[in-house]
Chain A
Amino acid sequence: MLLKEEVQLLRRIPYFAKVDPCRLKLLAFASSRVSYDADQELFHQGDAGDCAYVLLDGSADILMESPEGEVKIGEVKGDCIVGEVCLLCDGVRTATVRTTTPVEALKICKDAFSKVLIDPGVTREVTRAFAEQLHRTTSELDRTRVGQRQLVN
C-alpha cells in the first residue's frame, strides 16, 4: 500500500477526517508500517502506551482481563484505529489487542503524532473528533447504567 492510499485511509478515520490532507501525509510518512502474524499481541493490558495502530488489513480482538480470565470485548478490522487514547494522554493500556489473522498496520507513535499536532488547526480538528467520540461513549455508558439499574430493580 502506498503512502497516498494510507492517507486516503486515514481520512476515513473520524479523528482525522477533517485534518488537512497535507498534514495527514506527513503523519503517514512519520509513521511506520508493521506486520504481524495471526495470534500476536499489538499491545498488552497494563503496558505503558506510546503508539496507536491503524489496521490496514486483517483483524484483531480486543481483550480484557477479568477474574474469570480474558474476555473479548470487541474486535477491530481494516480502517480501524486502536490504542488512540494514549496519543493524547499518558497512561497504561486498558486492554490487550491480539491479532486473529495476519495484520498489516500503520503504527502512529505518540512522539510523531504530537509533532504533527504542533499546528493549531490540526489540534482543533483532532480534539473535536475526540470530544465527539467521548460524547458518544459517555451516552453509551449512561444507557448501560440505566439498563443495569433496571436489571437490578
Chain B
Amino acid sequence: MEKSLLRYIWRHTRRQQLFILAIVAASMVPYFLAFDLPKQIINGPIQGGGFESEGATQAYMDFTVTLPWLGTIFQFDGIPLDRLETLGALSGVFLLLVIINGLFKYYINTYKGRLGERLLRRIRYQLVDRILRFPPSYLKKVHAAEVSSMVKDEVEPFGGFTGDAFVQPAMLGGQAIAALFFIMVQNFWLGMIAATMVAIQVGIIPKMRHRLIELGRQRQVTARHFAGKVSEIVEGISTIHAFDTSNYERADVSHRLGHIYKIRYDLYQWKFLVKFVNNFLSQLTPFLFYSIGGYLTLRGNLDVGQLIAVINAYKDLPGPLKELIDWDQARQDVQVKYEQVLEEFEAPMMIPPAVHTLAAKSEDKSFSPLAAVNVTIEDQSGARVAEGVSVRFERGETVAIIDNAGSGAEALAEAFGRVAWPVAGKITLQDTDLLDLPESVSGRAISYSGADSYFFHGTLKDNLLYGLKHAPTSTVTYSGRDATQRRWEMHEARMAGNADFDIHAEWLDRSTTSVRNGQKDDLKNSLLAALDAVQLTSDIMDLALHSTFDPEVHTELAARIVDMRHALRSTLSVKGLSHLVVFFEPDRYNIEASVGENLLFGTMRQGAGNENSLLDSDYFYDVLRSAALLEPLFDMGAAIAENLVDIFGSLPEDHPFFQQMITLSADEIDVYEQLLQRFSERPEGVRPNRDELRAMLRLSFNYVELRYRFGLLTPELSEKIVKARDLLHDKLPAHLAGLIERYDPHRYIALASLRENILFGKLSHRIADAGEQIRAVASGVMHEKDLYASFLGVGLEFDIGAGGRRLTLVQRQKLNVARSLIRRSDFYVFNRALPGLDRRVQNEIVKNVVDFLKEQDHDPAIIWVLSNTSLARLFKRVVVFDRGSIADDGTFETLEQESGIFKTLVA
C-alpha cells in the first residue's frame, strides 16, 4: 500500500477524480450565470432599463457565435419581448438556473459520496485481507479489539476525505488565486501586501497545526488501546469477579479515560488558539489596507475608488483561503491516521496472495509423506522449543507424539497445522515446502485440531461443517430482481477491489467428507459418525429436546412430532405404563400440574414479567369473576397461607427450606401472616383489595394438590377451573395473546420445548423412576418413527454464541475434534486436543477417532500429540520428544522394551 493517502486515493480513483473535476468546472457556468441574472432582472424589466418607450421590446436570447480568424459564423437575433414578457422570461431562466445548480450540486455530492464509500470499502477490505495474510506469530502480538477498531472506526474519515481530496484544493485554490489576481489588478502594492499576508497564513498555520496532528495521533492510539481494554474486560469478566479485581479495573479505566480527556482538552485549546491566530491574520490584512491604503490616499498617491475596489475584492479571499487551510488540516489529519493504521498492518513475511487463491475443484489426489526436515521452531520469546527435528510420516500410519520435557511435540504439530512457522528447516508435504503450497492443498490434505480452538458465532452445524467451506461449489442462478441485485453487488465489489465470490452460493464441498460412498447422505453420515466418535451425540440430543423451533418453518417436523406424541401415548398404554404421565387434556384437570397451569392450559412465552402482565391485567380478573373462581381461589390462597405460616412460621429466616420447598422468603411468610391477621379482624363482607387478592391468588396458582397435600382442591373446583379455560382463551386481548399459546393435543406448541411437545403432559412425581422409564420408551418410539436424525438436526441448529461460549469447555473440545473428523484428509493432526476430559473419556474418544478414521477408504495418517501419555498404546508408532528434539521413535512394543524415557513416561 502507498505511503501517502493522497497517492493511494489518486491511484485508485484517478479517472473519477478527473471526471468530477470536469463536472465541477462545468457547474461553474450556470453558477455564475445565476449570479448575474438578478442584476439584469432589476435593471431591465423592473427598473425599466431598455424599456423607456411605450411598447418597446428587447431581443431575448440573441447571441452570436464568433470564432477567431473565421469571424461570425452564426447569429441569432433573438425573440422580441415587451417589458412584462421579459420579466417572465428572465424569471423563468432564473428558476431554471436554480434547478440546474441544485441538480449539479446533488450530482456532485452523490458522486463524491460514492467515491468516498468505495474507497472506504476498498481500504477496509484490504486491511482484512492483510489480517488473513499475516504470519501467525504476528497475530499473537496484536489485540483483536484494537485491530477491529482500526478497521472499523479509524479508517472511517478516509471515505469522507476522498471526495474532496482533489476537487476541493483545485476549486478553492482557483478561487483564491482569482481573488488575489483581482486585487493585484486593482493595485499592485496593496496586492503584494495581501499576497504576503496569505503567504504568512499559509506558512504559519499548518506549522501550528503540527502539534494538533500530534495530539490527534495520540488521541487515536489511546482510544484504540481503550477499545482493547473494554473488550478485555468483557472477555475476562469471570476472572475479574473470581479475584475481586473489579475496582482495579475501574482504576485502570478511569486512568485511561483521564489520559484521553487530557489529550482531548489539549486538542481543544490548541484548536481554538490556531483558530484565533488564523482569524487574526485574515483580519490583519484589511487593517493594513485601511491604514496604509488610507495613508496613501491622504497623501494623494492612491485614489479613493481604487482603495474601495481593493477592499471589495479582498472580501472574496479569506473564505476560500480558510477552507483551503481547513482542507490541508483534514489532509494531514487523515494522512497521520493512515500512517498509523498502515504501520499496524505492515507485517514482515506476509503470506503471499497466491497461497490463498480460490481453488474451487478439490483435486482428488493424495499427498504423502508429511515430513519435517531439520526443523527449528521458536516460541514468542525467541526460545527454541524444537531444534533440528527431522521426521517423516507416511499415509496409513497412526502416530502418538509425546513430550518428556519441553514442548517440542506441540510445536511440531503446530508447524504441521501452519500455526507456527519454522525459523529454520522446513515442513514438506510430498517434498514441497508447506509454506509454498497453496492453502487449498495443505488446508485440505491436513486437518489440524489444536487445544485452543475457535468457534464462529452461529449454529453448531455451521461450525461443524466449517472445515468444508473452501470455495463455492455451485453457482446460483438468479432471476428478476435478485439478478439485478447480484449484478450490482458484483459490479460494486469489483469497483472497490473486493472479491466478488457469492456468499449465497453453496460453499459446502460435499465431495470431501470423510465418509464417502458417492451417496447423497455422505455428509449426514460423516457428521453423525463424527459426533458419535467424540461422544457428543447425547449432548446434542439434550440441546434439541430443550430447544424450541418455529412450526411454521418446519411444518413437516412439527406434524411428525405431534404424531410421535400420540404414538408415545399409545405405546405407554400398551405397555401398561400410562400412569407415568398425566397428559394434558382439554376437558380434564391435570392433577400433576398447578392450579395456574390448569387454568392457563398453555405455555407462556419465556421472559421476565410476562407472567405479571397476565396477573395484572383486568381481563384476567374479569374472567375469574365470571367463572365464579375469584372467591374460591382467594379462599384457597388464604388456606394455603395458613398452612404455610403454620409450617414455616417458626423457622429461622435463613433456613434452607425457604429456597428448597417454596418460592417464598421468610419475610413473605411474615407478610402472609399479617394479611391473615388482618382478614380475621375484618368484619364480614368487606372485600379484599386488589393487592390482597393478588397475593392470595399467587399462592393458589402455584398449588399442586399432590405435592402440598393440604386437601384444598375439591372436584367441583377443578371442574370450574377446566371450564374457565375456554373463557380465558376466547377473548384474550391482543397484548396477552402473543404471550400465551394454548395446549392442543393435535397441534405443535411453538412456545414449548421439543420435550414438552413430545410428552405433552406431566410426569407423575410419585413414581420414583418415571423419568427414566419414559425416556426409554420415548427413545424407542423416536427410532420407530425415524425421528432420530431430525431431532439431532434440531439440536444442530443450536446457537453456540460468540466464540462458542454457550457450550461447555468439554463440548467445545469435542466439537473441535469432530469438525476435523468430518473432513477427508490425508493427515489428521491432533495437538493435545482433548485436555479438559478425564482419562477414561479421553481413552474412549481417542480410540473411537482412530477406529473411525481407519474404517474409511482413504487410509489417512493420524498424528496425535498426547497429553495423556498412557494412551500411546492405541497407536502403532510412537515418537518421544525430549527437550525439543526427538529422543525415541519406533513402534509401541519396541519402545516399551527398549526406551528408558518411554517406560517412565507410560508407566
Contact = CB atoms under 8 A, between A and B. Distances in A.
B709 A6 contact: yes
A134 interface: no
Interface stretch (A25-33, A57-65, A85-93): A25-33
B882 to A, nearest CB: 46
Nearest to A116: B657
Interface string A7-31: 0000000000000001001101110
Given A26-B657, A29-B647, A118-B655, A2 B710 contact: yes
A4 B655 CA distance: 23
B251 interface: no
A131 interface: no
B647 A4 contact: no
Interface string B643-654: 100111011100
Interface string B244-278: 00000000000000000000000000000000000
A36 B768 contact: yes
B767 interface: yes
A2 B652 CA distance: 26
Contact of A115 (B643, B646, B655, B709): B655
B654 to A, nearest CB: 10
Nearest to A32: B765
B355 interface: no
Given A3-B710, A29-B661, A33-B709, A22 B655 contact: no
16 contacts: A2-B709, A3-B708, A3-B709, A3-B711, A4-B711, A25-B646, A25-B647, A26-B648, A28-B709, A29-B661, A29-B708, A30-B657, A32-B766, A34-B766, A35-B767, A115-B655
Contacts of B764: 35
Interface of B: 643, 646-648, 650-652, 655-657, 660-661, 706-711, 764-768
A8 B90 CA distance: 110
Contact of A33 (B650, B651, B652, B766): B766
A22 B646 CA distance: 7
A3 B648 CA distance: 14
Interface in A38-72: none
Q: How large is the interface on A (under 10, 10 to 19, 20 to 34, 35 or more residues)?
A: 20 to 34
A2 B711 CA distance: 6
B636 to A, nearest CB: 15
A34 B765 CA distance: 7
B767 to A, nearest CB: 6
Given A3-B708, A29-B661, A22 B766 contact: no
A26 B647 contact: yes
Nearest to B710: A3
A151 interface: no
B739 to A, nearest CB: 32
A1 interface: yes
Contacts of A3: 643, 708-711
A49 to B, nearest CB: 15
Interface string A107-125: 1000010010010000000
B651 A26 contact: yes
A37 B216 CA distance: 81
B706 to A, nearest CB: 7
Give the one of A4, A26, A36, A107 with max B CB within 10 A.
A26
Given A29-B661, A34-B767, 16 more contacts: A3-B709, A22-B650, A25-B646, A26-B657, A29-B647, A30-B657, A30-B661, A32-B765, A33-B706, A33-B709, A35-B767, A36-B768, A107-B768, A112-B657, A115-B657, A118-B655
Contacts of B656: 115
B399 to A, nearest CB: 44
Contacts of B765: 32
A118 B767 CA distance: 29
B415 to A, nearest CB: 51
Cβ-closest 7 pairs across A and B:
A3-B709, A2-B711, A35-B766, A26-B647, A2-B709, A25-B647, A34-B768
